[in-house]
Structure 1
Amino acid sequence: MAPRRRRGEGALPLSEHYGDLVRVALMEARPAGLQTKQLVAATRLSPSQVARRVRHLRDVGAAEHLTPIIWRRKDGYLFSDEPADWIAYEKQQFRLLLGRLTRMITGTLDPHLARYPDDEWAQLASAQLTGVRATLSQLSK
């Protein structure tokens, strides 16, 4: 009896294949982009599979120094050769991170410190995250 495969084992070739489907669809649309619905139609993948393959392509692209995939509301996902497009996308990602971090600080950490001002861990987290928050604020401008 052959050993049972765990979930996800052997998925690399399929992952690469699906990643290629997304990459080819985006390359064919170039210089325009494709919205998620258009990528779903072009690749016959589910929206979650498309999202996973985009993440996979970003990881592969970064490792191989390829053109990054960016996302814009009006264009969807696209390959752009313009550094200004990359910077705009990066700033938007920093704004998103800043918003999430700010909500975590104001919604969880600040009330924690208000109730237990001497909590060593909360003080450390607050001090560290203040610096991160300032950095993200500068990067998103």
Structure 2
Amino acid sequence: MAKRSPTAERYADLIRTALFEVVPAGMTLNRLMGVCELSRWQTGRGLAMLRDLCAERGWPPVIWSRDLGYYLCASEAELEEWERAWISEKLTQFRRMITGTIGPHLALSPKSV
């Protein structure tokens, strides 16, 4: 197991508490930062740690949606929809990397591979 930062765990605890107070609604990043009194970097670090803790401890996962912002998801159907959207986004990023960067590089320097 990777070494954990006590500071990141404290940020995660602040975020988890804030999200529990507004369940089932969510919070935008700016509102979450304000409620927890954390910077953008601290909030990002806390969210990453909270995701790890949720997976490890069997808690409902933290997800993000355009409508609600960050929230704790307890619905299996909603979680599956989010997973599909996340995978679709990553596949689009890979496709763009291949067609927009690697493809032109190969066309310019075919012997570089």
TM over 0.5: yes
Structure-2-length-normalised TM-score: 0.86
Partner AA of 2:51 in structure 1: R
Counterpart of 2:52 in 1: which secondary structure? helix
How far did 1:17 drift? Answer: 1.2
Partner AA of 1:105 in structure 2: I
Superimposed CA distance per residue, residues 53-92 of structure 1 (whole angstroms, 9 cap, x where no aligned partner): 1111101111222211111111000012101111121112
Query: 1:30 maps to what in 2?
Result: 23
Query: 1:69 maps to what in 2?
Result: 62
Aligned mates of 2:100, 2:53 — CA distance in 1:
36
Structure 1: segments with no counterpart, 5+ residues: 1-10, 122-141
Query: 2:13 maps to what in 1?
Result: 20
How far did 1:117 drift? Answer: 4.4
Superimposed CA distance per residue, residues 30-69 of structure 1 (whole angstroms, 9 cap, x where no aligned partner): 1111111111111000122112111111011112222111
Aligned mates of 1:65, 1:118 — CA distance in 2:
49
Aligned mates of 1:45, 1:58 — CA distance in 2:
17
Percent identity for Structure 1 against Structure 2: 37
Q: Which has the higher contact order (CA 8 A, sep 6+)?
A: 2
Aligned mates of 1:82, 1:24 — CA distance in 2:
19
Counterpart of 2:5 in 1: which secondary structure? helix
Partner AA of 2:88 in structure 1: R
Aligned mates of 2:110, 2:40 — CA distance in 1:
45
Structure-1-length-normalised TM-score: 0.71
Aligned residue pair count: 110
1:94 pairs with one of 75, 83, 87: 87
Aligned mates of 2:41, 2:111 — CA distance in 1:
44
Q: Over alpha carbons, which structure has the higher Rg?
A: 1
Counterpart of 1:16 in 2: which secondary structure? helix
After superposition, residues 1-141 of structure 1 pair within 5 angstroms as 12-117=5-110, 121=113
Aligned mates of 1:67, 1:103 — CA distance in 2:
32
Query: 1:136 maps to what in 2?
Result: none
